[in-house]
Amino acid sequence: MKRIKRTRILSYALRPMLSCLVCFCLVATISGISNSRALGSEASELQRVLNRMDAVAKNFRTFTARFSQKKFTEVLNEFDSPETGEFFYSRTKDGSVLLRHEVMSPGKRILTIKGETLTVYRPAIKEAQIANREKMQNIVEYLALGIGQYSGKLQEKFRISYLGTETIDKAACSVLVFVPKEAKTAARLESITIWIKDSNGTPAQYKFQEPTKDYLLLNFFEEKLNTKIPGSKFEQQLPADAEVQKL
């Protein structure tokens, strides 16, 4: 009888613990299923956006837009004065890059990329810098990231994740984060967040995040796909008296 009583007492004592254990297992299982579904949904949404970008890349010839950009400095906790200008981008049949990023206000600054040559010209002081694009240690080579490029090629250089949706200038966008795989690139550029328009698969906004927590925010508007761009847009005719620095 004592053994039976002890067994009953032990059973009564363990019952609350067993109930808690069962509840914990149920919660853990449900949580695991929920997390799994969330990850599956995220992967599905990411693939949806990448497929949309691939569709644009398939027929891509050119991209033009107006832009505004501003730099945020963490130490000062503020943006600098915004700049506005025009952007022209094209890829030749052999994959070479043609790019013009022209700041028109408040000061004029013209950046062009043709093949592997990068030129920055400041008309006000007649100063030009010419360099091999691969030697430039800044973010200019990523100004057209995700435009007319296949996702498979992008995934070779970046870890890409899906953040969700957001509206930029009344346009519904899917938000992707690109993290560089190469250590040398990551040392100067922590990540690039791109807001991809659901309507046409082109970027509405970029955020270039530096390891210092400073970042550049660039917005495109009035964008056009596959319009004819004169070849002269990617040439810079420097005046004879311009000071030229080769980097």
Type of residue found at 233: K
User: Cβ distance 80 to 214 under 8 Å?
Assistant: no
* DSSP notation for 88-154: EEEE-TT--EEEEEEEEESS-EEEEEETTEEEEEETTTTEEEEEEGGG--SSGGGTTTTSS--HHHH
Per-residue pLDDT band for 93 (boundaries 50, 70, 90) equals confident
Q: What is the pTM of this model?
A: 0.80
> What value does the mean pLDDT of the chain take?
84
**pLDDT tens per residue, range 109-150:** 999 998 788 999 999 999 999 988 666 655 667 889 999 999
Domains of the chain (ranges plus CATH)? 55-246 (2.50.20.10)
> Residue 186: how many CB atoms within 10 A of its CB?
13
Question: How many CB atoms within 10 Å of residue 65?
Answer: 20
Cα distances (Å, whole numbers) of residue 99 to 28, 133, 143, 165: 52, 12, 9, 29
**What distance in Å separates the CA atoms of residue 84 and residue 75, rounded to the nearest whole number?**
24
DSSP, collapsed to helix, strand or coil, labels residue 247 as: coil
Mean pLDDT of 188-205: 95
